[in-house]
Every structure is written in structure tokens, then in C-alpha cells.
């Protein structure tokens, strides 16, 4: 993914969803807002369920010319014709995954709060590095990415960065000058109206 002039939207699916309803909700969100990429992040390791979910979402995203990546399942992502994979083991498997998928595939790397892991992932061939959460939350161990890391990254590193985790309108406003993508998931899916919830975050981008 190329570095955009203004932060773009990168949507992250819920870890579990109903195939009978979620694709329609996603389609409504994608029709209402310009989105660069969608990440399928189902928590299950059931290959059939992952495959059926990927097929359903691929039809929706590709018909709108939006990239679809899958968390961690490199072989399955390739087999299902997705656009790439999002790795959650920091920089450890970036180089090997790039070799498997080739230069055209998207290979992203979640590096948590670590500047070192982010730099290593970029050097290993990641198309983007994802950092987060962006503020303290009840999830994980409570650690979060300091704003100074995003500022430093935007000034020093060419690899695009995704800010994700615990986003709200105030944090979106603060991070807009220093990030390339906002990774948005539970922030909208846990509401009654994801389209409206995303609209509020988009307004904060300015």
C-alpha cells in the first residue's frame, strides 16, 4: 500500500461474526466511506469457516476495488485469491512470507508498541507496519504507543504506518498528521450504527 497524503481508512473485521448478516453491514459501510483495505481477523482456526468468510468478503471488497487481507493464514490467503496477509508476530515471519507470496501481495506486520519491531519488519519487506493500541485500554497489558513514536515514524521511516486500537475522535485528531492509515474495528462494529460511527471518526480526520 502506498503512503497516502492524508490518513486512509483500514477496516478490521470483528473476531467473530455471522455470515448471514455481517457482509451486508460491511457493504453498507464500504458504500458510505472510502476505504483502502479490509482485514479479515476471525479468531477461529476452522479452515472451512475462514474460507467461507473470505469468499463472502472478497466478493464485497473486490467489486469495490478494495484490498482484502487475512490475519496470519498465509497459505489460505494465497489459495483464496486475497490481496495479502497481516502478520501478528511482529517482524519474525515477514521475510519468509514475502518470499512465499511474491512482490505483488500485501504483507503487513503488527508490531504492537515496539519501534524496533516496526523498523525490523519494514527492513524485512513489510508493506506497512501497524502500531497500537494508541491509548490505554482494558485490552492486553494496558501498554500503548506513545505519540512521540508516531511523530518520529512519520518524519523518519518511509514504510506506511497504521494506527489501531482504542481509537476515538480525540485520538484520531491528534494522530492525523502522523499516521498513514487508521485501523478501525470494534470502534464501529460494537455500535448500533457502524456507518454513523465511522462518519464521526472520519470527521475527526478533517
Q: What is the pLDDT of residues 72-98, one digit of tens each?
A: 999 999 999 999 999 999 999 999 999
Return d(Cα 101, Cα 174) in angstroms, integer. 35
pLDDT over 70, % of the chain:
98
**pLDDT attached to residue 142:** 86
Q: Given a cut of 60, is residue 69 above it in pLDDT?
A: yes
**pLDDT attached to residue 55:** 98
- Mean per-residue pLDDT, 69-73: 97
Q: Given a cut of 90, is residue 47 above it in pLDDT?
A: yes
Q: Which three cell numbers stand for residue 169?
A: 475522535
pLDDT category at 138 given cuts 50, 70, 90 is confident
**What ranges do the domains of the chain cover?**
8-205
**What pTM does this model have?**
0.96
Q: Given a cut of 60, is residue 4 above it in pLDDT?
A: no
**pLDDT attached to residue 206:** 83
For residue range 161-194, list pLDDT tens digits in order.
999 999 999 999 999 999 999 999 999 999 999 9
145-184 per-residue burial string, b: 16 or more CB within 10 A, e: under 16: beeebbeebbeeeebbbbbbbbbeeebbebbeebbbbbbb
Q: Given a cut of 70, is residue 195 above it in pLDDT?
A: yes
Domain with residues 8-205, CATH architecture: Alpha-Beta Barrel (3.20)
Return d(Cα 178, Cα 176) in angstroms, integer. 6
Q: What is the tally of helices (H) and strands (E) in the chain?
A: 9, 8
Amino acid at each position: 500500500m502506498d503512503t497516502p497524503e492524508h490518513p486512509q481508512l483500514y477496516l478490521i473485521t470483528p473476531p467473530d461474526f455471522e455470515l448471514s448478516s455481517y457482509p451486508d453491514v460491511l457493504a453498507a459501510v464500504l458504500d458510505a466511506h472510502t476505504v483502502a483495505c479490509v482485514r479479515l481477523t476471525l479468531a477461529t482456526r476452522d479452515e472451512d469457516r475462514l474460507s467461507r468468510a473470505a469468499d463472502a468478503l472478497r466478493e464485497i471488497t473486490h467489486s469495490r476495488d478494495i484490498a482484502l487481507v487475512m490475519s496470519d493464514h498465509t497459505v489460505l490467503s494465497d489459495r483464496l485469491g486475497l490481496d495479502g496477509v497481516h502478520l501478528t508476530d511482529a517482524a519474525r515471519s515477514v521475510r519468509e512470507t514475502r518470499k512465499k507470496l511474491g512482490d505483488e501481495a500485501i504483507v503487513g506486520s503488527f508490531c504492537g508498541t515496539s519501534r524496533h519491531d516496526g523498523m525490523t519488519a519494514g527492513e524485512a519487506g513489510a508493506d506497512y507496519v501497524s502500531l497500537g493500541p494508541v491509548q490505554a485500554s482494558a485490552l492486553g497489558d494496558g501498554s500503548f504507543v506513545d505519540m512521540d513514536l508516531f511523530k518520529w515514524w512519520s518524519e523518519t521511516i518511509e514504510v506506511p504506518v497504521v494506527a489501531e486500537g482504542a481509537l476515538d475522535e480525540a485520538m484520531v485528531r491528534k494522530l492525523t498528521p502522523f499516521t498513514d492509515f487508521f485501523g478501525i474495528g470494534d470502534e464501529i462494529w460494537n455500535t448500533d450504527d457502524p456507518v454513523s460511527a465511522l462518519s464521526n471518526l472520519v470527521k475527526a480526520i478533517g
